[in-house]
Amino acid sequence: MGSRNSKSISVRRLFTALDKEHPDAKLALDFESAFQLLVALILAAQSTDANTNEITRTLFDRFPDPASFASAEAEEVEQAVHSSGFFRQKARTLRSCCQRLVDDFAGEVPRDLPDLLSLPGVGRKTANILRGNAWQIPGIGVDTHVGRLSLRLGLTEEKDPNKVEADLVEQVPTDSQIRFCHLLQYHGRRICIARKPDCPKCVLAKDCPYPDKTEPALPAKPAKSTWVRS
Ligand code: SF4
C-alpha cells in the first residue's frame, strides 16, 4: 500500500486541469529513435534539456549508432559532449552503454525493463521515460519535476524516486501515465517551480495541500510624493 497524503488532490481532477492548462506538454528532448533518446537522456543528467538538444543537434552526424560510440576514442566523445557538464563521466557512460548494446543486443536498444536496467547509466527514471516516449509503453519516470510536484500535491509522502514511482503507478491509470508525466514536467517548469511555486497562478491551488503555498503579491504602495509646494 502506498503513502498518499490523506488531503491529496484527486488524480482525475489534476489530470483534467493540467491537460487543459498545458495542451502542448511533451518530452522536451529532441530525438528520432530510441537510440537517440537514450543518448539524450544520459546527457541530460545534471544539465538542461535545451543544452542537451543543442549538443544532440550535431552529435548524431558524427555518432549515428551504438557501434560508432563504442569504437570511438574516449577523448573524441568527451570533446563532442564537453558542454554538457560532467563530460568525462558522461562520455565513459555513453561508450560503455553502447558497447553493451553492440555486444549483447545486436546494436539495438532493448524494450524490456530488466534489459534496459542492466545497461550502464540507465536507472528506472531513464528506462521508463525511454519506453514511454520511444515506444508508448506505459510507466512513470520520476524526474525532478514529477517527484517534487507529487510530494507537494500529496500524491506521495516519499522522497525516494522508486517509492514515488510505486505510489504513482497505483494511482494513475495505465493509459494516462505517459501524459501524466509530461503534464507534471510542464507544470513544474512553468508554475510549480522548485525554488518558489507561483501558487496564485496555479489551476490546482484550490485543491493543493502543500503547506507552503505562496500568496499573491500585495499591490505596491503608491510612492510618496516628493513634490514640495513653493
Ligand atoms: S498550488 Fe502551488 S504548490 Fe500546489 S501545485 Fe500549484 S504551484 Fe505547486
CB 80 within 8 A of CB 97: no
Integer angstrom CA distances of residue 139 from 5, 99, 134, 156, 172:
22, 26, 12, 16, 10
User: Does 163 participate in catalysis according to the annotation?
Assistant: no
Q: What number does the ligand 1 atom closest to the CA of 191 have?
A: 7
Confidence band, pLDDT 50/70/90 cuts, at residue 218: confident
Q: Residue 111: helix, strand or coil by DSSP?
A: coil
Q: Is the CB of 41 under 6 A from ligand 1?
A: no
Q: How many CB atoms lie within 10 A of CB 28?
A: 16
Hey, whose CA ends up nearest to atom 4 of ligand 1? 208
Confidence band, pLDDT 50/70/90 cuts, at residue 217: confident
Q: Is the CB of 18 under 6 A from ligand 1?
A: no
Q: Is the CB of 184 under 6 A from ligand 1?
A: no
pLDDT (0 to 100) of residue 138: 98
Integer angstrom CA distances of residue 211 from 23, 40, 181, 208:
28, 36, 23, 9
CATH 1.10.340.30 in the chain is located at 34-135
pLDDT (0 to 100) of residue 175: 97
Mean pLDDT of 123-132: 98
Mutate to test the pocket of ligand 1, among 208, 212, 215 (most ligand atoms within 8 A of CB): 208
Q: Is the pLDDT of residue 1 over 90?
A: no
Which cell is 107 given?
546494436
Residues 39 and 51: their CA atoms lie apart, in Å, by 13
Least confident of 71-85, 126-140, 207-221: 207-221
Residue range 34-135, CATH number = 1.10.340.30
Output the CA 104–ligand 1 centroid distance in Å: 45
pLDDT tens column, 32-41: 999 999 999 9
**Architecture of domain 11-25+141-201 in this structure:** Orthogonal Bundle (1.10)
pLDDT (0 to 100) of residue 5: 74
The DSSP line for 17-30 is: HHHHH-TT---SS-
Mean pLDDT of 131-149: 98
Q: Is the CB of 188 under 6 A from ligand 1?
A: no
CATH 1.10.1670.10 in the chain is located at 11-25+141-201
pLDDT (0 to 100) of residue 224: 65
Which cell is 117 given?
536496467
